[in-house]
Homo-oligomer: A and B are copies of this chain.
Amino acid sequence: MEALKTAMASIAADMETTLDRLIPTGDGREQRVFDAMRYASLAGGKRLRPFLAVATADLFDVDRAHSLRAGAAVEFVHCYSLVHDDLPAMDDDELRRGRPTCHIQFDEATAILAGDGLLTLAFEVLASTETHPDPQVRSELIAALAAGAGATGMVGGQMFDLEAEKHGDQFDLNDVIRLQEMKTGRLIGFGCKAGPILAQAGEKERAALDAYAAELGLAFQIADDILDAEGSEEEVGKKVGKDADAGKVTFVSLLGLEEAKKRAVNLTLQSAGHLDLFGAKADLLRDVARFVVERRA
C-alpha cells in the first residue's frame, strides 16, 4: 500500500495545480464566482476520480498531460455536485472536508453559480485540443462524462436519493444498489473509462475496466455508509451519523454493519479479479480497491 499512497499523493498534488490553472482568474465584477469555484475545488481531498483517470491511462502509457486534464474534468463535476448537494434546499450541510461549505463561505446564489460554472468548465476542458489532439477522443470523453453526470446518472441518483429520504420505507437493497450506482458509481466509472478512451483501447480492455469500476464503486459506497455509521466527525471532515438520524435506508441499515463490511471486502477482491489482463501494471488499481474500503475518511 506504500506505493499506492505515494502515487495518490503525487497525483493529488499534480491535480491541485491542474485544477487551479484551469479555473479562470480576472479582476472583473464576476470574479466572485471564480473565487467560489476555486474554493470549492481546491480543498484537497483524495482526488479518487482523477487518480483513476490517470492510473487507467498509465496502463496504456498515455501522456500525463492528457490524463490529468481528463481527471480534472471529472473532479470539477464531483466538486460541483458537492456544492449543490450541500445547499440548504438539498442536504443542508455546513461543513465539508473540515471547512465551511461553499454557500456558508460565500452565499447561496454564488454557490449555485459556482456549481454551474464548474460543471460547464468540465466540458470546456475536455473539448480543448490540449486534452487530446484527436477530436474523436475528446468527443468520446465528453459523451461519457455527460452520460455519467446527467439525469440518467449522477443527477438522477441525487434525485433518487432525495426520494429515498421521503419514501425510504419502500426501498430495498436493489433500490439502494441502483441509487448508489447512479449517484457515486457513474463518476467513478468515468474515471476508469478515461484511460481506455484516451488510449483508444480495445473492447476487451474497456470491458475489463468497466467491470472493475462497477465493483469498486459499490465497495466505495458501502464503505461510505460504514464511515457515516462508525466514523468520527474529526476523521471524516463532515457531519457523521446523518443517515441514521434521517432514517435513511443505507447498506448498513439494510445489511447490518458486519455484513456490510464483509460485502465491501468481497467486492474489492472481485474488482481486482478483472485486472488480470493488465498484469503487474495494474497493481496500483488493485491496491486502490483495498484502500477504498480501508480508508477512514
Contacts and interface: CB of A to CB of B under 8 A. Distances in A.
Nearest to A32: B159
Given A156-B28, A164-B29, A112 B84 contact: yes
Nearest to A36: B159
A159 B112 CA distance: 10
B89 A163 contact: no
A159 B24 CA distance: 14
Interface in A117-161: 117, 119-121, 123-124, 126-128, 134-136, 138-140, 142-143, 145-147, 149-152, 155-160
Contacts of A156: 24, 28, 30, 33, 117
B123 A30 contact: no
A93 to B, nearest CB: 13
A179 interface: yes
Given A116-B119, A139-B127, A146-B121, A151 B24 contact: yes
A164 B32 CA distance: 12
A28 B151 contact: no
B162 A109 contact: yes
Contacts of A138: 135, 139, 142
A90 interface: yes
Given A30-B159, A139-B135, A163-B29, A150 B112 contact: no
Given A90-B109, A123-B123, A30 B151 contact: yes
A192 interface: no
Contacts of A29: 159-160, 163-164, 175, 179
Contacts of A107: 89
A70 interface: no
Contacts of A150: 117, 120-121, 124
Interface string A27-44: 011101110010000000
A143 B128 contact: yes
Q: In the A-B complex, list the 9 residue pairs whose CB atoms are closest, starting with the nearest.
A: A89-B108, A124-B146, A117-B151, A30-B156, A120-B150, A127-B143, A33-B159, A135-B135, A135-B139
30 contacts: A23-B151, A24-B151, A29-B164, A29-B175, A30-B152, A30-B156, A30-B163, A32-B163, A34-B151, A37-B151, A87-B112, A89-B107, A89-B112, A110-B159, A115-B116, A117-B150, A117-B151, A117-B155, A120-B149, A120-B155, A121-B146, A123-B123, A123-B142, A124-B143, A124-B150, A127-B139, A127-B142, A127-B143, A135-B139, A139-B142
Given A117-B150, A127-B143, 9 more contacts: A30-B160, A37-B151, A84-B113, A116-B155, A124-B146, A124-B150, A127-B142, A135-B135, A139-B142
